[in-house]
Structures are given as C-alpha cells and as structure tokens.
Amino acid sequence: MPHPPTLQPILTTHDLSFAGIRYPDIAFQRQGINIICGPSGCGKSTLLRLCNRTLVPSTGQVRL
C-alpha cells in the first residue's frame, strides 16, 4: 500500500522570542486544524502577531 504524500509546512518558526518570552518551534500544515492554547498572558496573541509579521521578533525567524 503506498504511503500518503508528506505535507510540507506552510509556516514555520525557529528560535523565536519576543519581550523575554521564548516560543517553541512550530510548523503549521496546509491541511488540518492548529490550536494555540494557554492561560491568559502567556503570549498566544503575540505569537500570532509574530507569525503574521505585525511584530518583529527579538530573535529567531518566521518562514512562509
């Protein structure tokens, strides 16, 4: 039985930090659902702003 094709991520982060918060490396796939969850004030909205480039990270990079 053939294996399904490997999906390439459409957005990845590497060594990302902003305002003293270090974010994990992530890879968003074209298909599926991605969930970012955590307590209030942990940086969820900041991570999304870094990903859509409305904020510039202190270190690391976002690749589309």
Pairwise CA distance, residues 12 & 3, whole Å = 24
pLDDT of residue 30: 82
Residue 54 resides in a domain: yes
Residue 38 resides in a domain: yes
Over residues 20-48, the pLDDT tens digits come to: 999 999 998 888 888 899 999 999 999 99
Residue 50 resides in a domain: yes
Residue 2 resides in a domain: no
Residue 3 resides in a domain: no
Pairwise CA distance, residues 8 & 6, whole Å = 6
Residue range of the domain that includes 59: 9-63
Residue 1 resides in a domain: no
Counted domains in the chain: 1
